[in-house]
Amino acid sequence: MATENINPLNTTIGWIGTGVMGASMCLHIVKRGYKTFVFNRTREKARGLLEAGAIWVGSPKEVAERADIIFTMVGFPSDVEEVYFGEKGILKGVKPSAILIDMTTTKPSLAIEIYNAAKSKGASFIDAPVSGGDVGAKNATLSIMVGGDKDVVERVMPLLELLGKKIVYQGRAGSGQHTKMCNQIVVTGNMIGMCESLLYAYKSGLNIETVLSSISEGAASSWLLNNLTPRIVKGDFNPGFFVEHFIKDMEIALEEASRMNLCLPGLALVHQLYLATKAQGYGRLGTQALILALDSISKAGVFSKRD
């Protein structure tokens, strides 16, 4: 990149990973007028972007050969490794002075590894995972947690601002991923508390809506309690966020915690219960499906998925 200011006229963008999240996010950039090269494992999922003016290329390497700033938004840490370090990966084609931005939720240690590898090629890397789900991606209201070199983050800020509402610099490489882990660890606790409470409410003969009217604003109040309880009551287990992706996140957090010599018994328990949830066939349901596994443990028979 030659200039400090990012300008659609002289900056080319690369985008790798056009799933539910990535496609919505990339579209904001394409619509803003940036020349955007895209790649995805399944080309079909990029169709909307191509119709909006994005340009298809055949591999992450080819994206890297063409773009000044490259976003990645893929699935699992192994996908991130492949996209960056693979035979046809970004680092095989990256331009010196390019900026690479991984928005996948992945391992902080992997973020640091990519940061160092990018640096050795004269390029920069920041980790910038998000929260806010598909709705946040569509409405550009994501929370973006950013780690890396601060001056690099500042240079791409105008692009991040096209994608999210709350963009916070958290510190050196990996800090964005660590912050996302903090978010997910809080969610594990809020989720088990909510699910066990709803089971207790049903079994003791209470009306859940009436219970909520007593407890939803005080010490028990949470985003999850207010947003997921109505879905659970309706038997709606459609994914806002997949069980299997949540398991991935918990496994990253547990691995990092172990590396830091940190015992997190709550996280470990919830992780185990989500393995049960997945084992029961609910891996592609929303995270609120935890209550189905908890229900089955006690054969409570009160919560079930409705079609």
Query: Which residues, 227 to 286, sit near its own copies by CB under 8 A?
Result: 227, 241, 253, 256-257, 260-267, 269-270, 273
Does residue 157 bind its own copies (CB under 8 A)?
no
Q: Give the DSSP H/E element, type plus range, for residue 160.
A: helix 150-160
Nearer to its own copies, 60 or 136 (CB): 136
In three-state secondary structure terms, 69 is strand
Nearer to its own copies, 118 or 194 (CB): 194
Does residue 223 bind its own copies (CB under 8 A)?
yes
Nearer to its own copies, 82 or 222 (CB): 222
Q: What one-letter code names the amino acid at 189? A: G
CA proximity to 292, closest of 284, 268, 212, 302: 302
Out of 224, 232, 243, 289, the only residue in the binding site for its own copies (CB under 8 A) is 224
Please work out the total of residues on this chain that contact its own copies, with binding judged by CB under 8 A. Answer: 75
- Listed in sequence order, the residues at least 6 apart from 256 whose beta carbon sits closer than 8 Å to its beta carbon are 107, 108, 109, 178, 181
Q: Dihedral of CA 24/30/36/37: which sign?
A: positive
Out of 32, 78, 154, 200, the only residue in the binding site for its own copies (CB under 8 A) is 200
Q: Dihedral of CA 223/226/230/235: which sign?
A: positive
In three-state secondary structure terms, 272 is helix
Region of 25-33, 52-60, 86-94, 294-302 interacting with its own copies (CB under 8 A):
294-302
Does residue 103 bind its own copies (CB under 8 A)?
no
Q: Dihedral of CA 129/183/145/238: which sign?
A: positive
Out of 8, 222, 231, 233, the only residue in the binding site for its own copies (CB under 8 A) is 222
Out of 97, 182, 235, 301, the only residue in the binding site for its own copies (CB under 8 A) is 182
Structure tokens belonging to residue 38: 């895209």
Does residue 219 bind its own copies (CB under 8 A)?
yes
What is the smallest separation between the CB atom of 148 and its own copies, expressed in angstroms? 14
Region of 13-21, 34-42, 201-209, 277-285 interacting with its own copies (CB under 8 A):
201-209
For its own copies, the binding residues in 33-92 under the rule CB under 8 A are none
Does residue 194 bind its own copies (CB under 8 A)?
yes
CA distances from 67 to 99, 103, 144, 234, 291 (A): 9, 17, 22, 46, 45
Site string for its own copies, 115-144 (x = CB under 8 A): ----------------xxx---------x-
Nearer to its own copies, 61 or 178 (CB): 178
User: Which residues carry out catalysis?
Assistant: 180
DSSP string covering 167-203: EEEEESTTHHHHHHHHHHHHHHHHHHHHHHHHHHHHH
Out of 191, 289, 291, 292, the only residue in the binding site for its own copies (CB under 8 A) is 191
Contact 91, 82 (CB under 8 A): no
Nearer to its own copies, 52 or 262 (CB): 262
Does residue 109 bind its own copies (CB under 8 A)?
no
Q: How many CB atoms lie within 10 A of CB 272?
A: 11
Out of 31, 32, 203, 305, the only residue in the binding site for its own copies (CB under 8 A) is 203
